[in-house]
Amino acid sequence: MGQESFITPEIADMIGKEEVFSSPEEIGRATIRRFAVAVGDPNPLYRDEEFARKTRYGGIIAPPTMIFELNYNIGVELEEDGGYADRITLPPPLTNFVRGGNEYEIFQPVRPTDKITVKRKISEIYEKKGKTSTLVFVIIEIRYINQEGEFLGTNRETLIFMPSKGS
């Protein structure tokens, strides 16, 4: 209708394919403390073992949204822009993206001993007319599971892709 759709068969084909990343090591207390420092959260539950032991958790846990914010695919090559080579991208001209939203559901606290497996798939791709160009919305469903097979949480992420100014 007037303008052609940006969603080519190649892009539509990305829907529904699950990818799995397994972290080779436990999260560890250092990751939790460094994350808490980086976001400026002084809660002792994330860094003071003695304090944390006396709480209902019996030990240090991670800030509630931390597992959704970490990347686990370390070891995967980085591209020129600093992004991981296996991250979700769309073919040109849709090479610019911003984050549209995140919906987190948290099932249990994350502990330093958790080894995380991430299962990621695209559930939906659609386009909308933006102010200056068409925007392509990619909805990604990500599930987080530990080494015991316990379900830690889910993250429904919206990325918004648009034509790059440079292309």
Q: Which residues contact other proteins by CB under 8 A?
A: 31, 34-35, 37-45, 51, 55-57, 63-66, 68-72, 74, 78, 81-83, 96, 98-106, 164-166
Amino acid at 164: S
Least Cβ distance, residue 148 to other proteins (angstroms): 20
Least Cβ distance, residue 94 to other proteins (angstroms): 13
20 or 51: CB nearest other proteins? 51
15 or 70: CB nearest other proteins? 70
Least Cβ distance, residue 163 to other proteins (angstroms): 10
Burial 16-41 (b: 16+ CB within 10 A, else e): eeeeebebeeebebeebbebbeeeee
101 or 147: CB nearest other proteins? 101
User: Which token pair is 117?
Assistant: 């497996």
Least Cβ distance, residue 99 to other proteins (angstroms): 4
Query: Position of tokens 């436990």?
Result: 26
* Cα–Cα nearest to 154, from 164, 145, 146: 145
Least Cβ distance, residue 18 to other proteins (angstroms): 22
146 or 155: CB nearest other proteins? 155
13 or 22: CB nearest other proteins? 22
* Cα–Cα nearest to 45, from 68, 64, 27, 26: 64
Instruction: Cite the beta strand spans of the chain per DSSP E.
Output: 19-22, 96-106, 117-129, 134-145, 151-162
Those residues whose C-beta lies under 8 Å from the C-beta of residue 108, and which sit 6 or more positions away, are 150, 151, 152
